[in-house]
Amino acid sequence: GIEKRELGRTYRYISRKMGMRILPAKAASYIPRFASMLNLSDRVQVKAINILKKARKKDVISGKGPCGCAAAAIYIASVLEGERRTQREVADVVGVTEVTIRNRYKEIAEALNIEEEVEKKAKEEEGGKKRKKKQ
C-alpha cells in the first residue's frame, strides 16, 4: 500500500498547486490540555496559540499532525516564557516523538524567524539549571 507520509506529501503538493488551504484539526484546541498536563501557565498557553496562528498564516502547519504542531508550539512558548520544558517532557505528555517535535519546531521557528531567540533562551535556561544543581 501507500505510506501515510507519502500520501500526506502528495495531498499537500496537490493542494498547494491548486491554491487550496488545508485546515487540519485545530492544533490550538490541544494546547490547554497539554499545557495543563505540563503544569504550564496561561501565559505559555496564550503564547503557544499565537505561535500556531502565525504558523498557520505562513502555511507551515498545513497537512501536519495537529498534536505534533501543538507540541512544538508548547515547547517554543515554554522556552520563550521562561518555563522551559524539554522536548522529551513535551513528547511524553503529547504522545509524539522528540523527532516530530524537533521537525515541527524547526519548521515553525524558521518560518516565524524566532529560531535564534528560542535557541538562545533554551541554552540560558539549561545553563541556569546546571549552575543551580552544582550549588
Alpha-carbon span 76 to 85, nearest angstrom: 9
Residue 15's alpha-carbon distances to 8, 19, 65, 76, in angstroms, are 10, 6, 16, 28
The whole-number pLDDT of residue 129 equals 66
pLDDT tens readout for residues 85-131? 999 999 999 999 999 999 999 999 999 999 999 999 999 988 876 65
> Is the model's pLDDT at 133 over the cut of 70?
no
The whole-number pLDDT of residue 135 equals 46
pLDDT tens readout for residues 24-82? 568 999 999 999 999 999 999 999 999 999 999 999 998 899 999 999 999 999 999 99
User: Which residue's C-alpha cell is 500526506?
Assistant: 8
Yes or no: say if 100 and 71 are a contact pair by the CB < 8 Å rule. yes
The whole-number pLDDT of residue 88 equals 98
The whole-number pLDDT of residue 45 equals 98
Rounded to two decimals, the pTM is 0.78
* Residue 23 phi, psi dihedral angles, 5° rounding: -110, 105
The whole-number pLDDT of residue 126 equals 82
Q: Is the dihedral of CA 55, 42, 100, 25 positive or negative?
A: negative
Alpha-carbon span 8 to 6, nearest angstrom: 5
Residue ranges of domains in the chain, CATH in brackets: 21-122 (1.10.472.10)
